[in-house]
Amino acid sequence: MSAKKTIISKSVDETIQAGKELGKQLQPGDVVRLDGDLGAGKTHFVKGVASYFGIQPEKVSSPTYTLIHEYSGTLPVYHFDCYRLEHEQEALEIGAEEYFYGEGVCLIEWPEKIEGLIPEDAIRVDILHQPEERRKIIIHHQNPEA
């Protein structure tokens, strides 16, 4: 079973707020995949999730050349950016699966690059460009109660 929630964001701040709201619902070991084009707002959404866990949003940036950024908050938050990854194998080598099945919260930008490694029960967030500065954010929960 899954449930879908759609949010229209009208600004960067509203996207951050949407991330913060999702943060409230996350449990240790949850994996969130962020699907969206370049500049959709994935990193800003991560800033919101991180801020829910007490991490300063300024600490969150796109780890373009680092595959993983680790932030230490009330839970460990692991921020992956797979944009530059060419082979899933590279993610395996740095132990991605240990993060995905660990005790922190994982947030993954460009998850399609490591499709075969993403846990089946990952929460999916689609961020879509809309006219003006808007974004459509669709959160696919695995659990209808969420």
Ligand X SMILES: Nc1ncnc2c1ncn2[C@@H]1O[C@H](COP(=O)(O)OP(=O)(O)OP(=O)(O)O)[C@@H](O)[C@H]1O
Please tell me what DSSP assigns to residue 19.
Answer: H
Residue 36's Cβ-count burial label (10 Å; 0-12, 13-18, 19+) is: buried
Per rule CB under 5 A, is residue 135 in the interface with Mg ion? Answer: no
Question: Which of Mg ion, ligand X, none lies near 133, with the C-beta cut-off 5 to 8 A by kind?
Answer: ligand X
Spatial CA neighbour of 127 closest among 47, 55, 28, 54: 47
Write the single-letter amino acid at 73.
G
The 60-89 contact track toward ligand X, x by CB under 6 A, reads --x---------------------------
Give me the residue label for tokens 């759609």: 6
Number of residues that bind ligand X (CB under 6 A): 18
Judged by CB under 6 A, the stretch of 12-20, 52-60, 72-80, 117-125 that binds ligand X is 12-20
Query: For tokens 């707020």, what's the residue?
Result: 17
Does 6 contact ligand X by CB under 6 A? Answer: no
Which 8-state DSSP code applies to residue 88?
Answer: H
Binding residues for Mg ion (CB under 5 A)? 42-43, 62, 109
Residues that bind ligand X (CB under 6 A): 9, 11-12, 14-15, 36, 38-44, 62, 109, 133-135
